[in-house]
Amino acid sequence: MSALEENRIQNEINDLVSVNALQEAELRKLRQELDELTNQETSLQQEISEMSNHQLSECDCMPHDLSNHLTIFSSKFCKDFTIDEVLRDEESMSLYKTECRLNGGKYGVRRVAVAKRDIIKKVL
């Protein structure tokens, strides 16, 4: 093998080693970014869980008898309204019924949700 061929082969090896080193550095960077994103996701999931537990412990469900009254819950307060107060606003009642259907099909159990806040805003 001539010196020229050896030099060319050595240059190819050096090029491959350089490319490999760059790829390894990029891989380390991507792994670090993935770790950071995973930590953020875990933190957000814990925060959501804590918020859900907090809201549900404050106000878990509505009374089962809606013939006389209805309790509307938000994360900040619980308040009783007569059914007439809610029925005054057709859109609020529609949101309420839709959410109840989506949450098990019963009007008696209603978790804290956006539709509740909408009803509260409209009724208040």
d(CA 35, CA 84): 53
Using a cut of 0.75, tell me whether the model's pTM lies above it.
no
Same domain, 50 and 86: no
Does an H or E element contain 47, and which? helix 3-58
Which ranges of 59-113 would DSSP assign to H, the alpha helix? 83-87, 90-102
Same domain, 47 and 84: no
Beta bridge partners of 81: 70
Same domain, 54 and 6: yes
Output the tens digit of pLDDT for each of the chain's 124 residues. 788 888 899 988 888 888 888 899 899 999 999 999 888 888 887 877 766 555 444 444 444 444 444 444 433 444 444 455 555 555 555 655 555 555 444 444 343 344 555 555 555 4
Same domain, 74 and 119: yes
Tell me, yes or no, whether 114 lies in a domain.
yes
Amino acid residing at 88: R
The distance from CA 102 to its chain's CA centroid, rounded to whole angstroms, is 18
Strands (E), the chain: 69-73, 78-82
pLDDT of residue 28: 93
Same domain, 93 and 74: yes
Tell me, yes or no, whether 23 lies in a domain.
yes
Tell me, yes or no, whether 64 lies in a domain.
no
pLDDT of residue 66: 42
Q: Is the distance from CB of 93 to CB of 52 less than 8 angstroms?
A: no
Q: What is the DSSP letter of 106?
A: -
Please state the domain count of the chain. 2
Tell me, yes or no, whether 78 lies in a domain.
yes
Same domain, 49 and 12: yes
Q: Is the distance from CB of 56 to CB of 111 less than 8 angstroms?
A: yes
Tell me, yes or no, whether 109 lies in a domain.
yes
Pairing of strands 78-82, 69-73: antiparallel
Same domain, 54 and 80: no
Tell me, yes or no, whether 63 lies in a domain.
no
State the Cα angle at 78 between 117 and 94, rounded to 5°.
Answer: 40
Whole domain around residue 37: which residue ranges? 1-58
Same domain, 43 and 73: no
